[in-house]
Amino acid sequence: MQKDKFFRDIENVKHPNEELVKTHCSYCGMQCGMNLRVDKSTNKIIGVEPRYDWPVTLGKMCPKGVTAYQQTNHDDRILKPLIRDDASLKGTKEGFREASWDEAYDLIAKKFGELQENYGKDSLSVFSGVSMTNEKCYLTGKFARVALGTRYIDYNGRFCMSSAAGGFLRTFGVDRGSTLPWTDLHETDCLFIAGSNTAECHPTSMFRIWAVQERGGYLIIADPRETPIARRADVHLDLRPGTDLALANGILNLLIQNGYADESFVNQHTNGFEETKELVKDFTPEYTSMITGVAVEKIEKAAEIYGKAPNAIVMFARGIEQQQKGVDNVSAYTNMALVTGKIGRPKAGVATFTGQGNGQGGREHGQKSDLLPGYRKITNPEAVKAVSKVWGIEPEEMPKPGVSAYEMFELMDNKTIRGLYLLCSNPAVSAPNLNFVRGALKKLDFMVCGDFFLSESAEYADVILPSVSWSEDEGTVTNLEGRIIKINKAQEPIGESKPDWLMQVELAERLGKGKNFSHLKTAKDVADEFRLATKGGNADYYGATWDKIDEQDGVFWPCKDKDDKGTPHMFLDKKFYHPDGKAKICALPYRPPAEEPCEKYPLRLTTGRVVYHYLSGNQTRRIQFLNDMCPDPYVEVHPITAAKYDIKHDEFILLYTRRGKANYKVKITEAIREDTVFVPYHFGHDESINLLTIAALDPMSKMPEFKACAAQIDKLKSGSVL
Amino acid sequence: MTFSIVEPKDKDVQKRRKLYMELENCIGCRACLAACTQCGGHEERNRNYVYDVNPLVNRQTMPLMCLHCVDPACARSCPAQAIQIHESGAVLSAMVEKCIGCQNCTIACPYGIPKFDEEENLMYKCDLCIDRTKDDIPPMCASVCPSNTLQWLTEDEIADKKQATEVGNDKWVTSMPYLEGETHVTVNLPGVLQGTVKLF
């Protein structure tokens, strides 16, 4: 093979007695290609080498990617099952003792059995995540519905991608996060990026993004902060947090008024244009400016550039999606592409920056409370029939839809849900309104947590099951392009850790469901059953075999059969997935954030990430290089605001909302709006900004409004921590 | 514009690629620092720097790497002749058996590049990942740099970069004459977009 040919025999790249295992990063949706260095004598991962021949990222990695390998053999790894007998210690790290797998499984089977006997099948719940392979995500859904027989399963994508999913489903009838491959990005003429701190959250997109400007193209950024990408934008739309819908409507209005609508495209391939045109008429530049706080000239310039661009891509991320109108924001920004016809061809389209490594694949295959594999509704009898057959159950045994992630905590609080199996997630840091969520976790009668580090959420568990890191198992992941890729195993699991799918098979056997699970002996077995379970769905993976993924550098879904090479570009035939083949242009009235600033809480609080940490920080806070770079949270404050509060750089202040409070060190910067403060959310215990955030949920996606709530600062008398 | 997959282009030293820095691209992620620790022979210590240019004002950052001077002050100032220059022009880290830990090099370097190991009493600095670059594999920092601030380019590609941002008003602010002396690394100081002709 041409690829990697030079790579294999260069001394100091290929060291003696080492093997290079090609794989992808453990963290975000970019899924950068990397080679893990494995010492052949010890079978231990000892380092990383760039994977220059991976077409999406060409060997590039962010600091998280470079140091990702340090998780695998980290001293903090959990090596054996842990049991805590004293429930009064919940919420602390104390009281755990090592146990055998048999003892742990027996205890879980006994407790789960008792709870279901006393309180019904639905007294148990599964809370999962999407930083794991499709195979694991798939089996987790099956485990909840077949082995536990509960309706209550949901996952952390509700705090991440569910608004993008809801918006795309409504607009296109299908939810593939990007309508085009990332290798198109640098060739477009205009990037309109809203609510994405791309340079910190998806850094390896940046070389393509800068290249657009280098070619003479334009970069438009909508963000309350002057992030590293906004700093170099041609237009920075510095809007108030939570006002995206007004901005999108305002720009759409200008596009229509100034003649940039593609009438033939609109007539042939969309519905809803006239209604939307009427609605956005009210969003004059002046009215839009009044709501968003963005200068009229900037709004006009952005609309003109996007309208004129021969090709343009609209992109967005959690900034617009983590709002109680996140779904509307997604549809509203997507309207821009539909009205101007800049979609359904190379170099033009719409994309969301998927947050978690498998945020795309993990939301498609049955971890969501209302979905079955292949992105099919659990309320659709045909889908239930098809999946039941694969699972070996009767259709009537299929549980009904459950509730969303945050709503599950409400059911724990009122004791509807009494048992929890948590895996691949750390909601004690990442959920909103944490005082409530942590209280709900404490109320559980019995909680099991699968993780490879003792997370803040694991501190609430009765039993901890040691899972493997991403590098000790194999399977597929669907990256932010919708490209299915292969994660390869680089070393054997350390200690007694096991992959989550194997735990689920073994637990299912204890729960008397061996006939539905025992045939799954390897990750490949799970993969084959999983592909079959998706057959016929919108997200059809049936033709995406591991061999094809290897041969083609990934396979874009849908991929229906052996001869199907997959679908890098969506909608090239201008056929959308609604029954009439048309996309929906949505008329979306503006509504403000759930909590607007007031006299008592005059500031707007928004949250986000830093480049050195991933999500709840359970992994990255343990990596020395990353932790050295960003060991503590902080609050970004504009100097004019700081002067009003008489606070200085590096001084500790009290930040509080109606829901909670925390102390943060002040970071003065002009790169934020005067009316807004920002805190990164990667930190646990008393440092979690989610103690303050609001659980106002989007009515469709059930996404909490992490990105906007009302807050206040108090200067501390001593200037020190309370 | 296309991005080519990195492959060694030529064994000929004269045609070998060089490190090129586009400071305006830097996003401050410090992947270059993390990657530096991963090169064999670097003993997991990074040898480069990234600075916040104006931290209370904006998010501008810039990397500071060894520029591999043609007539390096570090080597000239070394009383033990511990700092060797590779045939490719890379200024190597001090030879362990010769370095006397005087730190003259750090003081002499116009950019303060050489670092000092207090425990070992030894200087260490960027060697341009010589075991890679001698075979035209990019150094670790440029291999991983997600923003293309650090690139590994042929002389022709560097000339194209210069051409693309030439504005005819002496504002192509590359290495010379703004730096202390001639270097093997080409630096484009902030302002890369100033000469770009917009598409529309």
Residue extents of the structural domains in chain B: 13-70+127-195
Are A287 and A337 in a shared domain?
yes
Q: Which residue has the tokens 């380019």?
A: B153
With CB atoms and an 8 Å threshold, state whether A50 touches B131: no
Higher per-residue confidence, B39 vs B172: B39
**pLDDT for residue A1 is more than 50:** no
Q: Are residues A505 and A420 in the same domain?
A: yes
For residue A698, give the DSSP letter: P
**Backbone φ, ψ for residue A316 (5° rounding):** -155, 175
Q: Is the pLDDT of residue A78 over 50?
A: yes
- Mind giving me the DSSP string for A339-381? HTT--SBTTBEEEE---BTTTTGGGTSS-STTEETTTEETT-H
Residue A668 Cα, gap to closest chain B Cα (Å): 6
Q: Are A63 and B143 inside 8 Å of each other by CB?
A: no
Average pLDDT, chain A: 96
Chain A residue at shortest CA distance from B25: A210
Q: How many domains does chain A contain in total?
A: 3
Q: Which residues of A touch B6 (CB under 8 A)?
A: 52, 58-59
Contact status, residue B91 vs residue B66, Cβ threshold 8 Å: yes
A667 to chain B, minimum CA–CA distance in Å? 8
CB atoms within 10 A of CB A259: 8
SS (H, E, C) A668-693: ECCCECCCEEEEECCCCHHHCHHHCC
- Confidence check: pLDDT of A5 > 50: no
Q: Are B149 and B22 in contact (CB under 8 A)?
A: yes
Comparing CA positions, the residue from A121, A111, A165 lying closest to residue A144 is: A121
Are residues A4 and A53 in contact, defined by beta-carbon separation less than 8 angstroms?
yes
Q: From 2.120.10.30, 3.40.50.720, 3.40.190.10, 3.30.70.20, which CATH number describes the B13-70+127-195 domain?
A: 3.30.70.20
Q: Is the pLDDT of residue A8 over 70?
A: no
Nearest CA in chain B to A189: B199
Quick one: A319 and A207 in the same domain? Answer: yes
Give the chain A residue whose CA is nearest to the CA of B199: A216
- Would you state the pLDDT for residue B168? 60
All residues of chain B having their beta carbon less than 8 Å from the beta carbon of residue A55 are 5
CB atoms within 10 A of CB A547: 9
Q: Which residues pair with A466 in a beta bridge?
A: A451
Q: How confident is the model at residue B39 (pLDDT cuts 50, 70, 90)?
A: confident
Residue A31: inside a domain:
no
Residues B44-69 as b or e (16 or more Cβ within 10 Å = b)? eebbbbbeeeebeebbbbbbebbbbb
**DSSP H or E segment with residue A665:** strand A661-668
User: Of B1, B58, B131, which has the smallest distance from its Cβ to A670's Cβ?
Assistant: B58
Is residue A283 within 8 Å of residue A244, measured between CB atoms?
no
Nearest to B27 among A189, A199, A217 (CB): A199
Cα(A438)–Cα(A457) distance, integer angstroms: 8
Q: How open is the CA angle A72-A76-A81, to the nearest 5 degrees?
A: 90
Residue of chain A with shortest Cα separation from B52: A228
Cis? peptide before B177, omega within 30° of 0: yes
For A510, list phi and psi in degrees, rounded to 5: -65, -30
Of the residues A297, A328, A352, the one at which a domain ends: A352
Q: Choose the weakest-confidence range: A163-172, B130-139, B161-170, B181-190.
A: B161-170
| C-beta separation of A471 from A23 below 8 A | yes
The secondary structure element, H or E, covering residue A23 is strand A18-24
In this complex, is the C-beta atom of B194 within 8 Å of any C-beta atom belonging to chain A? no
pLDDT value at position A722? 46
Within 8 A of A53 by CB-CB distance, chain B residues are: 5
A232 and B145: CB-CB below 8 Å? no
Q: Give pLDDT, residue A626.
A: 97
How far is A583 from A573, CA to CA, in rounded Å? Answer: 12
Q: What is the pLDDT of residue B171?
A: 55
pLDDT at position A2: 36
Mutual orientation of helices A273-280 and A244-257 as an angle, nearest 10°?
A: 110
Provide the pLDDT for residue B8: 56
Contact between A78 and A454 under an 8 Å Cβ cutoff? The reply is yes
Together in a domain, A173 and A152:
no
- Write the pLDDT tens digit of every residue in A224-267: 999 999 999 999 999 999 999 999 999 999 999 999 999 999 99
A 301-320 residues with CB < 8 A to B: 308-310
* CATH for A706: 2.40.40.20
Per-residue pLDDT tens over the stretch A472-501: 999 999 999 999 999 999 999 999 999 999
- Token pair 């305006």: residue: B24
Do the Cβ atoms of B47 and B126 come closer than 8 Å? Answer: yes
Q: Is A563 on the interface with B (CB under 8 A)?
A: no
Query: Which stretches does DSSP call E strand in chain B?
Result: 18-22, 49-52, 61-64, 115-117, 122-124, 150-153, 186-188
Q: Bridge-partner residues for A713, per DSSP?
A: A655
Tell if the CB–CB gap between A6 and B145 is shorter than 8 Å.
Answer: no
Cut 0.90: pTM above it? yes
Which residues have a Cβ under 8 Å from the Cβ of A40 and sit 6 or more positions away?
A17, A18, A19
| Best CA proximity match to A583, nearest among A278, A276, A312, A272 | A272
CATH code, domain with A297: 3.40.228.10
H/E stretch holding A604 reads strand A603-608
Asked whether residue A550 is assigned to any structural domain, the reply reads: no
**Residue A290 confidence class, pLDDT cut points 50, 70, 90:** very high
> Is A610 at the interface with chain B, CB within 8 A?
no
Determine what percent of chain A falls in helix, strand and coil, rounding each to the nearest 5.
Answer: 35, 20, 45
Work out whether the CA dihedral A526, A532, A537, A541 comes out positive or negative.
Answer: positive
Q: Is B58 in Cβ contact with A63 (below 8 Å)? A: no
Q: Do A65 and B147 make contact, defined as CB atoms within 8 angstroms? A: no
B118 near A CB under 8 A:
no
Sort out which chain B residues have CB atoms less than 8 A from A216's CB and list them.
196-199
Which of A13, A67, A203 comes nearest B137 by C-beta?
A13
Residue A526 sits in the same domain as residue A656: no
Q: At what angle do helices A285-292 and A296-308 cross, to 10 degrees?
A: 120
Question: Alpha-carbon distance A299 to A239, whole Å?
Answer: 10
Same domain, A185 and A301: yes
The answer to whether the beta carbons of residues B141 and B36 sit under 8 Å apart is yes
A643 or B196, higher pLDDT: A643
Same domain membership, residue A242 and residue A345: yes
Considering only the beta carbons, identify the residue of B34, B55, B193 that sits closest to A213. Answer: B193
A366 and A463 in a single domain? The answer is yes
Q: Is the Cβ–Cβ distance between A227 and B59 less than 8 Å?
A: yes
Domain span including residue A669? 603-715
Tell me whether residue A529 is in a domain.
yes
Ramachandran quadrant class, A381 (left: phi over 0; alpha: psi -120 to 50; beta: rest): alpha
Is A300 a domain residue? Answer: yes
Residue A185, token pair as written in the block: 């990005």
Identify whether A267 is part of a domain: yes
Taking the Cβ of residue A46 and every Cβ of chain B, the question of whether any pair is shorter than 8 Å is answered with: no
Interface of B with A in 42-61 (CB under 8 A): 55-61
Using a CB-CB cut-off of 8 Å, the residues of chain B touching A311 are none
Contacts of A63 in chain B (CB under 8 A): 29-31, 33-34
Max Cα distance, chain A (Å): 70
Chain A: residue whose CA lies nearest to B140: A50
Whether A10 and chain B come into contact, CB under 8 Å, resolves to yes
d(CA A320, CA A301): 21
- Within 8 A of B37 by CB-CB distance, chain A residues are 625
Question: Is A500 within 8 Å of A130 (Cβ atoms)?
Answer: no
One domain for residues A205 and A155: no
Question: DSSP of A107-118, one letter per residue?
Answer: HHHHHHHHHHHH
Single residue among A309, A333, A352 that ends a domain in this structure: A352
CA distance A627 to A481: 30
